[in-house]
Amino acid sequence: MVNEEIVESKDEMKKKMEKMKEEASKKKEKIKETTGNVKEDISKKKEDVSENIEEIKEEASKKKEKIKETTGEIKKEAVEQKNKLEEESEAEGMTPPEKLLNDIVKGFQQRTGEINETIADYAKEYKGSKIKKPLIDVLETNETIIIIADLPKVKKEDLDIGISRNIVEIATKFKEDVDIEGAKFIQKERSYGETKRSINLSSDIKIKEVSAKLKDCTLTITLPKAEKDVAKVQIE
């Protein structure tokens, strides 16, 4: 009886051992499979990182080329401006620093004139004047300065142009042209009366060669630039 129980116990132990081995084998396979998946994921992520690094390198290279190209354009433009300044300075009998300072002073004078004119316009409007100054454009080439002014319904006999070496003054009269019997104004926005506009020029001009043309309510004044007088000084 005892021997039979011992045999049965051994069989049960053997079955348990086999079952444990089977479970251990399954767990081992599961771990192996999981490890393989992890390795595969790591490999894919490594490839993705490598691709991203290559893309970043390529983008950085493109930006570097763009910066290099932009820098080259800036250098080229700087050289062109320098050469232009040297040519203009030589033509006007100045050194480049003197030319720069001269341009700054003229620009400041022109802006000051415009500011003073704006203040004067505001003061007139504040006092109740309805006369508006002519609207103008000022253009410049290497040889001339051109002034274009809008003068609606102005005739030549109502127009006066005054010119000095570097100032142009346009004086005009806007006549009231409404003559309807029995009518009165209920709204009046157009300007009537005398007004004038002064324009400071960036260069001296040849006064005797100035020309003006009035066509289709537009006044065009062409002012040839005066050449700079450069005199050589004899050294004793």
Residue 116 domain-assigned (yes or no): no
CATH number of residue 213's parent domain: 2.60.40.790
Q: Rounded CA gap, 11 and 17, in Å?
A: 10
Token look-up 């157009």 returns: 190
Q: 177-190 pLDDT, tens per residue?
A: 777 777 877 777 66
Check residue 129 and give its pLDDT. 46
Low-confidence ranges of the chain (pLDDT < 70): 1-8, 10, 109, 113-114, 116-132, 189-191, 228-233, 236
**What's the residue count for the chain?**
236
Domain that holds residue 79: 1-91
6 in the same domain as 81: yes
Dist. CA 50–CA 5, nearest whole Å: 66
Give the pLDDT score at 121.
60
Domain termination residue (choose one: 65, 91, 117): 91
Which helix (H) or strand (E) segment holds residue 156: the answer is: none
Q: Round the average pLDDT of the chain to a whole number and report it.
A: 79
- Which residue's structure tokens are 């045999």? 7
Q: According to the model, what pLDDT value does residue 91 have?
A: 76
219 and 145 fall within a common domain: yes
Give a yes or no: residue 193 inside a domain.
yes
Report pLDDT for 50.
79
CA 24 to CA 127: how far, in whole Å?
Answer: 106
Pair (66, 144) in one structural domain: no
Looking at the structure, tell me whether residues 197 and 135 fall in a common domain: yes
Based on the fold, state whether residues 147 and 209 are members of the same structural domain: yes
**Does 106 reside within a domain?**
no
Quick: pLDDT tens for 107-132. Answer: 776 777 667 666 666 555 444 445 56
Question: Which pLDDT belongs to residue 212?
Answer: 93
Shared domain for 218 and 145, answered yes or no, is yes
> b/e map of 124-159 (b: 16 or more CB within 10 Å)?
eeeeeeebebbebebeeeeebbebebebeebeeeeb
Number of domain units in the chain: 2
